């Protein structure tokens, strides 16, 4: 898993085509979460950055953006998921 600081408080976390971005602040925001299989690497990266996400913003509902939501929410039960109406509908039918 690659973690790159983009600028103060903003990080790229990912491998190859499975990635997300993190805004680390008083309330941290994770953008997308890739597929379920990469969540263990994301969790380690979040731990290394001494943060846990408060919000998860899903940019669209392709499997490589929503596939890890269920697994991520198991580790962060209070995680609030934000997405468009269509994205939320697709996520509910996906799981």
Tell if the pTM clears 0.95, that is, is over it: no
- Total domain count for the chain? 1
Report the C-alpha gap between 66 and 38 in whole angstroms: 12
- The DSSP H or E segment spanning 48 is helix 39-48
- Which tops the pLDDT comparison, 73 or 54? 54
pLDDT at 27: 95
Domain residues for the domain of 75 are 2-94
Asked if residues 88 and 60 have their Cβ atoms less than 8 Å apart, the reply is no
Asked if residues 19 and 11 have their Cβ atoms less than 8 Å apart, the reply is no
What CATH number has the domain bearing residue 46? 3.60.15.10
34-46, pLDDT tens digit by residue? 777 888 988 999 9
Q: How confident is the model at residue 24 (pLDDT cuts 50, 70, 90)?
A: very high
Instruction: Say if residue 49's pLDDT is above 90.
Output: yes
């Amino acid at each position: 898993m690659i973690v790159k600081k983009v600028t103060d408080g903003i990080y790229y976390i990912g491998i190859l085509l499975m990635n997300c971005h993190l805004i680390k602040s008083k309330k941290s925001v994770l953008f997308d979460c890739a597929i379920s299989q990469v969540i263990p690497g994301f969790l380690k990266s979040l731990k290394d950055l001494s943060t846990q996400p408060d919000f998860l913003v899903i940019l669209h509902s392709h499997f490589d953006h929503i596939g890890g939501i269920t697994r991520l929410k198991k580790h962060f039960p209070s995680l609030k998921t934000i997405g468009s109406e269509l994205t939320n509908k697709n996520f509910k039918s996906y799981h």
